[in-house]
C-alpha cells in the first residue's frame, strides 16, 4: 500500500514581491521540518494519525504560523486556540475550541477523541480535561510574539477583527492530512483564529466536516481560509460527498468546492487533500498558500505562491 502526506500553513495574499529571501527560507524550512516529521513516521510503518499529529505539532511550535506558539492576540490580549483531528477508519473525531495556554492544541484534540466520549470540548472545560490528560501547558510569555503584538495593536486602533493580518490578508491556520500503508486516512487542523477577535468566536478549524474531515472511503481534508464561509459550505465534508455520491475524482471534487462553490459565496482560502489511493490535491482560490507534500518514492514538494 502506498502512503503520503500533505501539510499547510495558511492561505491568503502571499506575494513574492512582499517576501524577503530570508523570510521565504524560514517558511520553507519550517514546512520541510513539519513535512519530514510526518513522512518519516509513515516511512517506518507508522499510522497516519501519528504522522499528522507530529506534523501539526511542529507547525504549532513555529511562531511563523497562526497556531500554537504563533497564535494571534484576541481583543482582550490573550490567545484562544482551536484544533481538531479525525480518523478515516472509524470516523471518530476530537476537537477543542477557545482554549488558552495549551502548547499543542492538536494533542488536546486527539485526547478528546481517544480519551473521552465527546467530540468537541470548549474553553475552561477543555483545559481541565487537557490537564487531566497531562497535556503540556505554557505561560502567556511563551505565546508572546512582537509581530503578533503589533498586528493586534494595529487592529485595535482601527477597530477591526482581522484574519491573521489584513495587510497580507493571510489565513494562518495549519493542518495535515495523510494516508498510511494500512490504507487509513487522517486529518488535523489547528489555528489561533482572528486577530482582535471577541465573544469567543469560533471558525471552521475545530468543526468536523467544515475545517477537517477524514473517511477511508474517500479522502482526508484540512482547510484554511475565512472560517465562516467554510462552515456555511461544510467544505471538508462536501469534497468527500462529491467523491462518494457523485463519483468525482479528488481533483474534480476539490476544484468544484474551492474554485466554484466557495467563490460564489465569497469565501477565500484553500485546502489540502489526499484520497485513499494516495492522490494529493492542494487547491486554493487565494493568491498563495503555504503548502508541502510528499508521496512514497517521490521527492518532497514545498510551495508558497500560485505560480
Place of cell 514538494: 301
Q: Which of 19, 7, 4 lies closest to 305 in space, CA to CA?
A: 19
Buried b (16+ CB within 10 A) or exposed e, 86-113: bbbbeebbbbbbbbbbbbbbbbbbbbbb
Query: What stretches of the chain show up as alpha helix (H) in DSSP?
Result: 21-43, 48-60, 105-115, 123-132, 140-143, 146-158, 227-232, 235-246, 250-256, 262-265
Inter-residue contact 7 to 35 (CB < 8 Å): yes
Return the ∠ at Cα 82 (arms to 102 and 179), rounded to 5°: 100
Is 78 catalytic? The answer is no
DSSP state at residue 257 = I
Sign, CA torsion 118/112/205/175: negative
Instruction: Give dist(CA 159, CA 75) in Å, integer.
Output: 10
From the list 97, 173, 218, 224, the catalytic residue is 173
The alpha helices in 233-293, defined as continuous H runs, are: 235-246, 250-256, 262-265
Distance CA 239, CA 28 (A): 28
Please list the active-site residues.
173
Amino acid at each position: 500500500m502506498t502512503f503520503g502526506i500533505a501539510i499547510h500553513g495558511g492561505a491568503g495574499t502571499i506575494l513574492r514581491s512582499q517576501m524577503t529571501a530570508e523570510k521565504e527560507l524560514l517558511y520553507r524550512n519550517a514546512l520541510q521540518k513539519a513535512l519530514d516529521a510526518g513522512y518519516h513516521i509513515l516511512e517506518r510503518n507508522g499510522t497516519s494519525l501519528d504522522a499528522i499529529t507530529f506534523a501539526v505539532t511542529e507547525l504549532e511550535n513555529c511562531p511563523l504560523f497562526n497556531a500554537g506558539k504563533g497564535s494571534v492576540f484576541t481583543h482582550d490580549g490573550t490567545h484562544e486556540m482551536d484544533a481538531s483531528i479525525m480518523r478515516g477508519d472509524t470516523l471518530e473525531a476530537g476537537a477543542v475550541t477557545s482554549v488558552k495556554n495549551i502548547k499543542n492544541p492538536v494533542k488536546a484534540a486527539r485526547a478528546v477523541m481517544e480519551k473521552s466520549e465527546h467530540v468537541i470540548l470548549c474553553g475552561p472545560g477543555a483545559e481541565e480535561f487537557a490537564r487531566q490528560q497531562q497535556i503540556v501547558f505554557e505561560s502567556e510569555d511563551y505565546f508572546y510574539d512582537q509581530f503578533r503584538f503589533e498586528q493586534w495593536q494595529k487592529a485595535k486602533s482601527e477597530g477591526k477583527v482581522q484574519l491573521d493580518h489584513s495587510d497580507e490578508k493571510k489565513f494562518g491556520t495549519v493542518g495535515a492530512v495523510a494516508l498510511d500503508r494500512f490504507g487509513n486516512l487522517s486529518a488535523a487542523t489547528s489555528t489561533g483564529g482572528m486577530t482582535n477577535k471577541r465573544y469567543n468566536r469560533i471558525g471552521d478549524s475545530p468543526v468536523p466536516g467544515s475545517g477537517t474531515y477524514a473517511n477511508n472511503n474517500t479522502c482526508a481534508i484540512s482547510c484554511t481560509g475565512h472560517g465562516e464561509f467554510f462552515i456555511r459550505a461544510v467544505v471538508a465534508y462536501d469534497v468527500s460527498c462529491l467523491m462518494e455520491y457523485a463519483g468525482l475524482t479528488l481533483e474534480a471534487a476539490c476544484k468544484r468546492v474551492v474554485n466554484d462553490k466557495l467563490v460564489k459565496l465569497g469565501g477565500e482560502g484553500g485546502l489540502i487533500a489526499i484520497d485513499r489511493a494516495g492522490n494529493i490535491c492542494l487547491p486554493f482560490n487565494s493568491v498563495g498558500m503555504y503548502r508541502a507534500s510528499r508521496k512514497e518514492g517521490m521527492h518532497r514538494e514545498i510551495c508558497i505562491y500560485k505560480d
